[in-house]
Amino acid sequence: MLKFSSNTFKHGVHPPEHKEDTNKLPVRQFPFPPLIVLPMLQHIGKPAQVIVREGQEVARGQLLAKADGNLSVPMHAPVSGIVRKIANVPVIGGQKASGIYLETFPFSGQEVVEGAPVPLSASPEAILQGIQDAGIVGLGGAAFPTHVKLKIPEGKFCEHLIINGIECEPYLTTDHRVMLEQADDIFTGIRYLLRVTDAKQVIIGIEANKKDAADHLADRIPDDLPVKVKVVPVKYPQGAEKMLITALLGKEVPSGGFPIDVHAVAVNVATTAEIGRLLPHGRGIQERVVTITGPGIKKKGNYLIPIGTPLRFVLEQVGAAENLSEVYMGGPMMGVSASDLDISIVKGTSGIVVFGDENVKRNDKIYPCIKCGACVDACPISLNPSRLGILAKSEAYDTMADEYHLMDCFECGSCSYVCPSNIPLVQYFRVAKGIVRKRKSAVAHV
């Protein structure tokens, strides 16, 4: 049944994996921190609206903030405690955003309050509503509200439901552990997803370095589900949904299009497990699995951490090296480096990678482009990063967008990873994309 597929996408890179430190370690419950710092915007879209008052006692799992419109998700209390303050809290970019400080009851049993269950027999609309009410977003890192992604647009249909268990980021092993430990939740989640998308078949895509997880899931497929497990070769960035669709279905999502244009919907495997775990109990997300690893960490592992746990508390608990130099939220390829240890774990935090002083061996000297073409060979969507980089330097942003498909770039970092001249191509593209978007919206508002 389990076949090794030679199918993959074109180009891509092979960064060292470093997964062996944590992929054998079972998920462990992390201690509750004395203070939870909960930003209201942990997803793509509008921030959640706070519905509790300062000084109010809340139970674990209770709704703290409701969704603001469709492109938004609610926020639940990760611990039982007292709302100390509703104020701006530090977030990853270095700025501050609206949020809640929640003081944990030290001796509480931390039982979870449950809401109205969403049964499998509910209508697809009710399940979508249930997914939004549970505060579920893409747990792979993008944190896009899952119910928005699952809503099939008028006139389109979904044939393939793709469960993304690729986890191509180096160091991270959260999805790996979730697949090994939460198989039942994953299949329950798939049942819910099938109800919503009405897909004909389900493919669980897993990279060859997680063969144990693939075997584990393949052995447990319920007879009544049209599920296949497909093992694909290890390559970064296969976990990007458009790359995965090419790898599994052999079809390319059109430029500027969505997976539904090739009749597919892709959902991260941890997100699927969360749907299967939360919906039958009417719960909301209170915690997530986070891989904490990197050369600067003593107690590496996969931990179930309450959302909103401050980074400083996390690092103290796992014995981070005192000379830590860089802390990445997410993997080293697409993760964002933390500027401040007072930020907290959010729904999109799939891993924390810590590098000490001696591990950051970056050559800061940027050489001129030598036109070697390594980036062109690396780009998974066949852009020309070299040319784009030269255009970015001369600030020809409109040319980049109109003639060189800048907006298709999803910032996987493959081009910067291979660049021998250390040119920060992805950073150039990020800036350029921001400027192009601003110009477009300025034109739209005239």
370 forms part of the interface with other proteins (CB under 8 A): yes
**Nearest alpha-carbon partner for 238 in 409, 3, 9:** 9
| Chain residues 11-30 in contact with other proteins, contact rule CB under 8 A | 13, 15-16
Q: Can you tell me the distance from the alpha carbon of 65 to that of 50, in angstroms, rounded to the nearest whole number?
A: 4
Give 114 or 316: the residue with its C-beta nearer to other proteins: 316
For 239, residues 6+ apart whose C-beta sits below 8 A from its C-beta are 140, 164, 166, 167, 168, 169
Half-sphere exposure of 149 (CA within 13 A, CB side): 27
**Nearest alpha-carbon partner for 359 in 321, 388, 386, 330:** 321
Query: Which residues on adjacent β-strands are paired with residue 289?
Result: 304
Pairing of strands 63-66, 75-76: antiparallel
Tell me what percent of the chain is helix, strand and coil, each rounded to the nearest 5. Answer: 30, 20, 50
Are 17 and 170 in contact, with CB atoms under 8 Å apart?
yes
Residue 364 CB, shortest distance to other proteins, in Å, is 10
Amino acid in the structure at residue 367: Y
**Would you give the binding string for other proteins spanning residues 263-302, x where CB under 8 A is met?**
----------------------------------------
| Chain residues 165-194 in contact with other proteins, contact rule CB under 8 A | 170
Q: Which two tokens stand for residue 294?
A: 């990197």
> For residue 90, is the peptide bond before it cis, meaning its omega torsion is within 30 degrees of 0?
no
Give 50 or 378: the residue with its C-beta nearer to other proteins: 378
Task: Choose one: 27-35, 76-84, 265-273, 412-420; the region binding other proteins (CB under 8 A).
Answer: 412-420
Exposed, middle or buried by CB within 10 Å (0-12, 13-18, 19+), for 219? exposed
Size of interface with other proteins, in residues (CB under 8 A): 49
Q: Among 368, 394, 444, 445, indicate the residue that binds other proteins (CB under 8 A).
A: 368
Give 58 or 353: the residue with its C-beta nearer to other proteins: 353
Are 113 and 62 in contact, with CB atoms under 8 Å apart?
yes
Residue 246 CB, shortest distance to other proteins, in Å, is 21
Give 235 or 277: the residue with its C-beta nearer to other proteins: 235
Q: Can you tell me the distance from the alpha carbon of 77 to that of 64, in angstroms, rounded to the nearest whole number?
A: 6
Task: Choose one: 63-71, 79-87, 135-143, 364-372; the region binding other proteins (CB under 8 A).
Answer: 364-372
Q: Can you tell me the distance from the alpha carbon of 214 to that of 350, in angstroms, rounded to the nearest whole number?
A: 20
**Would you give the binding string for other proteins spanning residues 304-333, x where CB under 8 A is met?**
--------x--xx---x-xxxxxxx---xx
Q: Among 372, 402, 403, 439, indicate the residue that binds other proteins (CB under 8 A).
A: 372
339 forms part of the interface with other proteins (CB under 8 A): yes
Task: Choose one: 107-115, 272-280, 391-399, 419-427; the region binding other proteins (CB under 8 A).
Answer: 419-427
Q: Which residue has the tokens 């992929």?
A: 23
Give 102 or 426: the residue with its C-beta nearer to other proteins: 426
Q: Among 215, 261, 408, 411, indicate the residue that binds other proteins (CB under 8 A).
A: 411
56 forms part of the interface with other proteins (CB under 8 A): no
Q: Which two tokens stand for residue 179?
A: 């697949």
154 forms part of the interface with other proteins (CB under 8 A): no
Number of Cβ within 10 Å of residue 212's Cβ equals 14
Pairing of strands 287-293, 351-356: parallel
363 forms part of the interface with other proteins (CB under 8 A): yes
Give the phi and the psi of residue 202 in degrees, each rounded to 5.
-120, 130
383 forms part of the interface with other proteins (CB under 8 A): no
Q: Among 222, 420, 437, 440, indicate the residue that binds other proteins (CB under 8 A).
A: 420
Q: Give the DSSP letter string of 372-384.
A: --HHHHH-TT---
Q: Among 421, 433, 435, 436, indicate the residue that binds other proteins (CB under 8 A).
A: 421
Give 284 or 294: the residue with its C-beta nearer to other proteins: 294
Give 65 or 166: the residue with its C-beta nearer to other proteins: 166
Instruction: State the residues that interact with other proteins by CB under 8 A.
Output: 13, 15-16, 170, 312, 315-316, 320, 322-328, 332-341, 353, 355, 360, 362-363, 367-368, 370, 372, 374, 411, 413-414, 416-422, 424, 426-427, 430
